[in-house]
Structure 1
Amino acid sequence: MENNSSNDKSSINRLFSKYNRNRRNRPLPVLKTDKDLEAEGLARLSIDLPNFQVTDEADHPLTSSPSTSEIAHAFVSRTEGAPAPAFHRPKLDEHGGFANRHSIGFDVPGAVHTIVTPKLKTERQIDSKLVVVMVGLPARGKSYIVKKLRRYLNWLQYETKVFNVGNLRRVNKASQQLDQSANFFDPDNKDGNKIRDELAIMVLDQLIDWLRTGGRVAIHDATNSTIQRRKLLIDRLQQEPDIKVLILESVCTDKTVLERNFRLKLSGPDYKDKDPAKALSDFRHRVANYERAYEPVGDWEEDHDIQYCKLVNVGKKVIAYNISGYLSGQYSLDSLLLLSLERQIFVTRHGESEDNITGRIGGDAPLSAKGRKFSKALARFVKERRIAFALDLARRKIREEKESKDPLKDSDDEEQVTEQEHKEEKKVRATAEAISNSQFTIWTSMLKRSMETAQSFDPDEYDIKHIRFLNEINSGSREGMTYEEIKSQFPTEFQARQDNKLYYRYPGMGGESYLDVIHRLQSMIIELERMNQSCLIVTHRVVLRILLGYLLEWSQTQMPHMLVPIHTVYELRPKPYGVELTSWCYDEEADDFKELKEDAHQE
């Protein structure tokens, strides 16, 4: 055995020495010019043919595992240009599936259509459903992450639903009169553990039933903080051949954030209408019980090759393992869109253009006189709202600082103005000034009417960017027409758009559908979520509907039909529980904006 091993090593060393000598003497590949290709009759070069001189490589089926010396021979043979041994072509899976296996998971609504033959119908669901299993201790931001994930995937037209175990537990608490104080979550409470595991499986069964009826992504929202619980869920999911699993863990190490999250829990359903001091004490005890049994995601999942993504401090740090499949990849790549900083997001259409007056769609017309007046008023209005927002945010920050020192002290008592309060007000003003002077970004499309609407903003004060992604939907060969002209000249086409505005694509070169614009805006949404500064977006009707559809979670049936008139500004403030919306309408006579009490409504 030792002699054979020694011979193998000597053989390998000789082969690699030969390879290195030949490699030094071999010229680099020669790139071919267009004239070379024309001379060889290859002006229309196949997309599969590289534009340099290479030798052919044999394509053989797999054989048994090669020996060490065979590997060495294969390496040298391939680099020398000779056909490689049969074993070099890798398998895609343990069942011997090769490159002709259909990648069914890659499915983008409105952009990708998979051809499925009768033979493949039984495989159609492979990699097409995703279950996200949340993991994390209480008050670690899981609910915030879940809402972000649901909103983003639904906006991309992947039907997504959250299944919360806590909600079912609270329903059972009312019906069975269960004691769900901190003791219920004690890892030594066998009865409590059994009930919580049963509830987790009940919710999982509901989740699976929903996926079977057409859902695409389901989120199991619970702590799932032990390996035993995660194994219980995964064992059940592995009985379903068409479902992939992504474990998503949220870890928070920021004590300030944790303290704020603890306080938010006091207004939640478990502690509503309870004494704040007792509620906070009970919740801290509950968290301590979870911490005793907590087993972070990591070694066990890796030993079993289970894909996971770990978010630390709501996305400041991301750890991903074995991510595969299009939907899983979507979230792991976009998991950084989790910043929870409070800011203002203004979105509006451009001011009235010359084409708006005549009712023509598309085009690149300049602003009308009324549109230019709106532009000037918009700059004044945004500055006023920035100052108001800065004062409000500064007061809340200072109030939270006081409350963090004594969390249960009533901070709303009315007392006579004191020297201390004067100091606090001075601090508020200084903080507000710093906030209002922070960077503010303005995005417009590259069409005249959008860029002209932002001309009244001072570039020294605002970071202004013109972005082609924000251009209006391309109407193809219908650009410059009115809807009445389209209806009279192309009635069938007009009706097709009315029947399904989401999927309808304008005919002609460059014509787009709503879904096309959604995919065009995907990078803008990611950037918008990653930004930590306030911003104003000046765009167009279809783009505005899609942006608001994302921010306000409009359904895919609602979004294409929402009324978003010109000279209306939507001010949004992201919150941990959602988005706070205020709508403002420009009053031309007063040359000012008035708050609208009613929300946007359908056409």
Structure 2
Amino acid sequence: MSAIISSDEDTDSGCESRSSGIKQTDAGQVAVAAGNHQARTRKRWSSHSKEKGRLRSSVLADGVHEGVKDNHISPGQLYSTESGRLFHAGKILIVLVGLPATSKTLVSVAITRYTRWLGVRTQSFHVSEYRRARVPQGMVKLPLDYFSARPVTPEGIRLRRTLIAEIQADMKKFFEQGQLAVYDGMNIMREERRMLAEEFAALNVKVFFVESVVSESILRARTVEMAAASADYKGWNRQDALEDYKQRIELNRPLYEEMSPSEGLSYVKYFNFGEKLVVNNNYHGFLINKTVFFLMNLRDKKGCVYFARCGTSDKDKYIDDEVLNDEGIEYSKVLTDTVLERINNRRREQNDTPGQYESLPLTSSCKSYSSDLESPLISTSATLKRTESLGKAALRQHASGDGTDEDSFVVWTAPRKRTHDTAMYFVDKKITVRQRSQLQQLHPGVVADLSEEEIVSQFATEHKEYMKDPYHYRFPRAESYHDLAVRIEPLLLEMERMYGDILIIGHESTLKILYGYVTACSCHDIPSLSFTRDELIEVSFGPFENKIAKIPLVVDKKRVSKQVPG
């Protein structure tokens, strides 16, 4: 029964005829009460039934900026309270500190995504969004003074005061029902940080600062990226945008006062996107410690994460640990070629290949690296720098694990044969493939390999309970999606830690959970998502939101039929 629980390949192995790779079924619209076999009580998740899922079209968009309702239950949430606040943490304000182009927005959105997944009612407040809403329509170029932490013109002073008052009023209103607010602004002067801490401390809100500090070389590189991507420069010439953004940084550099223990505030310094963290006066308890641990794993990712189903087997049964059939093998070839082509095309488009460095002489280590490895992936500037300094660096396992380089590519699979064998051609091409036990599919329990009609007939009561709450309900001796989300949480931090590309090959149930995290899906969205074998899902990471793309996977049926004897 694919709508409820499925085998490692799903009982419908003819998925190629479907037109959509991710879609919502009607199952997500029928929840009217909650239940969870042998574990959850109705009272525990009773508010879950009142929440509506996102619109069907929006599951292909990042929901991290959508408002959180009072009765919201998150996918990774362990329990609920009447107040809606968790971990005995009270109300917390996280304040970002740093110059422009130091990835404050990236950090604020990432904290929002992760804490929401845990069940914390979190909302991020971005100064840039408030400013854009205040700018008169048709005003293409704003006075530079508008971007100063200490404006001198009457218009700049008035705009800054208005923005700060509006943001602080919205944050105070949010704390009436919410728990964690993330304030994304420069906040580079000691006096404004002191005033902010005192004002919210008077409201019984704990204030914790996150200062993003980057080296000068990284700041220059980030300036180019931010100028190209910022909504402020839509329609601008690239060079003009770059010069304007540089002026914003230089305007505020003399005003910047780095945080120090003498301020008496609680803060963490976040150096170069997680290279080093320094914590001061962290006395706010579990939730802030959990956030600091998350920041230890957060990186400025350059790659994408890809989601793909495993190939088909003959019986497609949960009980049988089968090998791939001919169609599954052909699918594996198509998947390998498509993913590698997609990564190489993106590297070409980013203009970050060694072609830019043709005037540089190749060192002996580079020549050896090129001839010995014969990687199917195009080398990047990161590859060139690494090979010049470390020789055959890609041949060794980094002490800090996979994904430590911007040009890294790792494939994750579940341990089952047909899932791991789907990555066989990546292994042949010397791409790193890892089996992750957390990617084992959702355990179906007593309904394993039963059709929907058989489940309704044999387990009528359980089926009714499942339809009330598909996310939290467990069939007898089975796992729920919620159990799966708790099991998979370590992989979420692994994904955040990795700089480069990741391909995750797994069962549909595990893909739903991982996709639900990177796109901020709700409990209602996740059970009704559908992944098919005719599409590869690509999620590219951005500072403000993640982008989703669907890439067709076309398996040549004629080639498969020729391989079958008779």
Give the TM-score normalised by the residue count of structure 1. Answer: 0.65
The aligned residue for residue 151 of structure 1 is: 113
The aligned residue for residue 235 of structure 1 is: 198
The aligned residue for residue 474 of structure 1 is: 443
**What is the correspondence of 1:152-171 to structure 2 with a 5 Å cutoff?**
152-171=114-133
Number of aligned residues: 448
Q: What's the CA shift for 1:469?
A: 0.4
| Matching residue's letter, 2:99 | L
Contact 1:186-1:286 within 8 A present in 2 as well: no
Deviation digits for residues 226-250 of structure 1, max 9, x if unmatched? 1221222222222333x33221111
Distance 1:565-1:212 versus aligned 2 partners, 3 A rule: same
Q: Does 1:374 align with 2:342?
A: no
1:434 partner SS: coil
User: Among 261, 281, 288, which residue is 1:299 paired with?
Assistant: 261
Q: Does 1:218 align with 2:163?
A: no
Contact 1:172-1:178 within 8 A present in 2 as well: no
**What is the correspondence of 1:535-546 to structure 2 with a 5 Å cutoff?**
535-546=502-513
The aligned residue for residue 342 of structure 1 is: 302
The aligned residue for residue 442 of structure 1 is: 411
Q: What's the CA shift for 1:308?
A: 1.5
| Matching residue's letter, 1:212 | E
Q: Does 1:130 align with 2:92?
A: yes
Distance 1:349-1:240 versus aligned 2 partners, 3 A rule: same
Distance 1:543-1:263 versus aligned 2 partners, 3 A rule: closer
Deviation digits for residues 81-116 of structure 1, max 9, x if unmatched? xxxxxxxxxxxxxxxxxxxxxxxxxx9976644788
Q: What's the CA shift for 1:164?
A: 1.4
- Which structure exhibits the higher relative contact order, with contacts defined as CA atoms closer than 8 Å and separated by 6 or more residues? 2
Contact 1:204-1:233 within 8 A present in 2 as well: no
Q: Does 1:512 align with 2:479?
A: yes
Distance 1:235-1:448 versus aligned 2 partners, 3 A rule: same
Distance 1:285-1:465 versus aligned 2 partners, 3 A rule: closer
| Matching residue's letter, 1:524 | L
Contact 1:444-1:539 within 8 A present in 2 as well: yes
Q: Does 1:574 align with 2:541?
A: yes
Q: Does 1:526 align with 2:493?
A: yes
Q: Distance in 2 between matches of 1:396 and 1:170?
A: 31
Q: What's the CA shift for 1:342?
A: 2.3
Q: What's the CA shift for 1:170?
A: 3.1
1:524 partner SS: helix
**What is the correspondence of 1:37-436 to structure 2 with a 5 Å cutoff?**
112-113=78-79, 126-174=88-136, 180-184=142-146, 185=148, 187=150, 189=152, 191=154, 192-193=156-157, 195-213=159-177, 215-241=178-204, 243-262=205-224, 264-265=226-227, 268-273=230-235, 280-301=242-263, 303=264, 306-323=265-282, 324-356=284-316, 364-393=321-350, 395-396=351-352, 433-435=378-380
Q: Distance in 1 between matches of 2:494 and 2:525?
A: 25
The aligned residue for residue 586 of structure 1 is: 554
Q: What's the CA shift for 1:545?
A: 1.0
Distance 1:127-1:338 versus aligned 2 partners, 3 A rule: closer
2:553 partner SS: strand
Q: Distance in 1 between matches of 2:307 and 2:503?
A: 6
Q: What's the CA shift for 1:315?
A: 1.6
2:298 partner SS: coil
| Matching residue's letter, 1:345 | V
Contact 1:248-1:310 within 8 A present in 2 as well: yes
| Structure with greater Cα Rg | 1
Distance 1:204-1:345 versus aligned 2 partners, 3 A rule: same
The aligned residue for residue 19 of structure 1 is: none
Q: What's the CA shift for 1:225?
A: 1.2
Q: Distance in 1 between matches of 2:429 and 2:84?
A: 61
Q: Distance in 2 between matches of 1:162 and 1:521?
A: 25
Distance 1:447-1:129 versus aligned 2 partners, 3 A rule: farther
Identity %: 24
Q: Provide structure 2 residue ranges, at least 5 long, that are not aligned to the other structure.
A: 1-72, 384-393, 395-406, 561-566
Distance 1:397-1:556 versus aligned 2 partners, 3 A rule: farther
